[in-house]
Amino acid sequence: MDIFLQQLINGLTLGSVYAIVALGYTMVYGIIQLINFAHGEVVMVGAMVALSVISALTGAQIGLPPVVIVLAGIACAIPACMAIGYGMERIAYRPLRKAPRLAPLITAIGISIILQHVALLVFSRNPLSFPQIMPNPVFEIAGAHISAVQIAIIGGSVVVMAGLTFLVYRTRLGIAMRATSENVQVAGLMGVNIDRVISSTFVIGAALAAIAGVMIGTYYGIAHYTMGAMLGLKAFSAAVLGGIGNLAGAMLGGVLLGVVEAMGAGYIGEFTDLCQAPWIAGLMTERCADGGNFVLFGSNYQDVFAFLVLIAVLIFRPSGLLGERVSDRA
């Protein structure tokens, strides 16, 4: 099996999900310069709601075709997340709009904790297995494997990103959103209801998060009330990598981060295998004999790479790959 191609496929899958979550971070930041740290939790809620609906419909045994059940799960997750996105802006962030920037940031962390614990109470403290009700055939291309779920995730995210691009660049709401992100006061002079545009931004980002939640739940096969935290941080890193506030940047950053992470996980074992270093292998002949290995860091260090990338970006290119402005506010 070709490790490179295989990890590329895995990375693109994961990166597609990061990209969709990163869009939520970057859109909100673009409009109100807030890093909505609770965004990852919205992804988790999306996964949880979809899981509950899918489990319930499957358990009811009313003979619905699996595709319909999955779509029903998504169809419930999206409005549930939209409601949470709307609610958190309305209740937590709007009253703080004129407050110092630290206040909404800390509030975001608070919302994140609240959502996690509400999910713990409503769902479970244990990881829930995502019902696999559809066959997931695996295809082989050039020695690497790609599953139907992976194809669906990559394809679905392309559709979602194309749809969002259309919305932002071709519709009245989208132009108003871009105008607002550049100059709130003048957008108001044009007749734009700023509150409504900000609400829409949160709601759209939350809808994307719901879709990402279903994707990641289906991909890993589990959902847990803490799953949003790490995913959210990585997607935030992806948004910073691409240039926070920049839509294309979030997409690029997400996909790149997914690939970097998969490549890192795929090769770290090989690169930190002490038996590959002749002078150490000489000291540990017993262990290294017959193709044995002594791996310092295994693929369980996968999570490290996203943050290495984040640190590198912050040091060498704080405005991100596609960001024009040097980020003086983040």
Partner 1 sequence: MALLEVRDLEVGYGGIAAVRGIGFEVAQGELVALIGANGAGKTTTLKALAGMLVASGGSVHFDGKSITRTPSHQLIRQGVALVPEGRGVFTRLTVEENLAMGAYIRDDRAGVRTDLERMFGLFPRLKERRAQVAGTLSGGEQQMLAIGRALMSRPRLLLLDEPSMGLAPLMVQKIFEVIQGVSKEGVTILLVEQNARLALEVASRGYVMESGEISLADSSAALLASPQVRQAYLGE
Whose Cβ is closer to partner 1: residue 217's or residue 320's?
320
State the DSSP H helix or E strand holding residue 326, giving kind and residue range, or none if neither. Answer: none
Residue 15 sits at φ, ψ, to 5 deg, of -60, -35
Instruction: By CB under 8 A, tell whether 167 contacts partner 1.
Output: no
Whose Cβ is closer to partner 1: residue 183's or residue 285's?
183
Q: How many residues bind partner 1 (CB under 8 A)?
A: 17
Q: Min. distance of Cβ 312 from partner 1 in angstroms? A: 27
Whose Cβ is closer to partner 1: residue 59's or residue 172's?
172
Going residue by residue from 189 to 218, which x/- string records binding to partner 1, judged by CB under 8 A?
A: xxxxxx------------------------
Q: Min. distance of Cβ 182 from partner 1 in angstroms? A: 5
Please measure the distance between the N-terminal and C-terminal CA atoms of the chain and give it in whole angstroms: 43
Whose Cβ is closer to partner 1: residue 12's or residue 187's?
187
Q: Do 202 and 28 meet the contact criterion of CB atoms below 8 Å apart?
A: yes
Closest CA to 210 of 193, 236, 194, 228: 228
Q: Min. distance of Cβ 166 from partner 1 in angstroms? A: 15
| Residue 44 neighbours by CB under 8 Å, 6+ apart | 115, 116, 119, 213, 223, 224, 225, 226, 227, 228, 231
Whose Cβ is closer to partner 1: residue 129's or residue 183's?
183
Footprint (CB under 8 A) of partner 1, residues 94-133? none
Closest CA to 5 of 146, 148, 152: 146
Footprint (CB under 8 A) of partner 1, residues 168-187? 172, 175-176, 178-179, 182-183, 185-187
Whose Cβ is closer to partner 1: residue 126's or residue 183's?
183
Q: Min. distance of Cβ 169 from partner 1 in angstroms? A: 9
Whose Cβ is closer to partner 1: residue 174's or residue 221's?
174
**How many alpha carbons lie under 13 Å from residue 257 in its C-beta half-sphere?**
41
Q: Min. distance of Cβ 251 from partner 1 in angstroms? A: 18
Closest CA to 36 of 89, 99, 84, 91: 89
Q: Do 21 and 85 meet the contact criterion of CB atoms below 8 Å apart?
A: no
Closest CA to 247 of 205, 186, 196: 205
Binds partner 1 by CB under 8 A, chosen from 188, 221, 269, 318: 188
Residues in contact with partner 1 by CB under 8 A are 172, 175-176, 178-179, 182-183, 185-194
